[in-house]
Amino acid sequence: MPVSEQPLVGVIMGSKSDWPTMQHAVDMLTQFNVPHEVKVVSAHRTPDLMFEYAQTAEARGLQVIIAGAGGAAHLPGMVAAKTLIPVLGVPVKSRALNGQDSLLSIVQMPGGIPVGTLAIGDAGAKNAGILAAQIVGNHNPAVRDAVRAWRQAQTDDVLANPDPSVA
């Protein structure tokens, strides 16, 4: 992403240890040329920063926030509670419970404060990046076209390689 561009998507995560998962979201945003920012923001270790991030997101021009966390994964829900920007939650695979804890604590929001919850782990992060690009693409034809082209290439690749025994 050109650093001078105003970020449209914020990618936040509870810990540096979430990065190997969350980089898949960032890879997709980069693929689609969506201006974005990346930051560690912890619901438990930096609660004041979390509220500040959520409360300033709209004024700073963000259109989507992707929030990844593991274990007692309160970050996506708490951020969603403090902003009207759509929040996509990525349950990071935890060491103790393989991400089941992360998934349930992100997906089971009370009615009234939605978080769009993705799958556990790498696939969820990847899909969060794609979904964020699709949302941005509603009002950004270049991003919409980039997603369209990528999807077509994905389809073409499957159709061109139907025999799984051939490397």
Q: Decide: is 15 part of the binding site for ligand RP5 (CB under 6 A).
A: yes
Our finding on whether 63 is near ligand RP5 (CB under 6 A) is no
Residue from 8, 9, 11, 14 touching ligand RP5 (CB under 6 A): that is 14
Distance CA(118)–CA(8), nearest Å, equals: 20
Residue 42 binds ligand RP5, judged by CB under 6 A: yes
Q: Does 25 bind ligand RP5 (CB under 6 A)?
A: no
CA–CA distance, 150 with 58 (Å, rounded to integer):
29
Burial of 118 (0-12, 13-18, 19+ CB in 10 A): buried
122: how many CB neighbours lie within 10 A of its CB?
Answer: 17
Kindly report the length of the chain.
167
Question: Does 122 count as an annotated binding residue?
Answer: no
As a whole number of angstroms, the distance between CA 149 and CA 132 comes to 16
In angstroms, the CA 115 to CA 122 distance is 18
Residue 151 labelled as part of a binding site: no
The DSSP call for residue 84 is: S
User: Considering only 46-54, 67-75, 108-116, 155-163, which stretch makes contact with ligand RP5 by CB under 6 A?
Assistant: 67-75
- Does 37 help bind ligand RP5 (rule: CB under 6 A)? no
Q: Which is nearer to ligand RP5, 8 or 92 (CB)?
A: 92
Confirm or reject binding of residue 10 to ligand RP5 (CB under 6 A): no
Give the residues lining the site for ligand RP5 (CB under 6 A). 13-15, 17-18, 42, 44, 69-71, 92
Which residue ranges make up the annotated binding site? 15, 18, 45
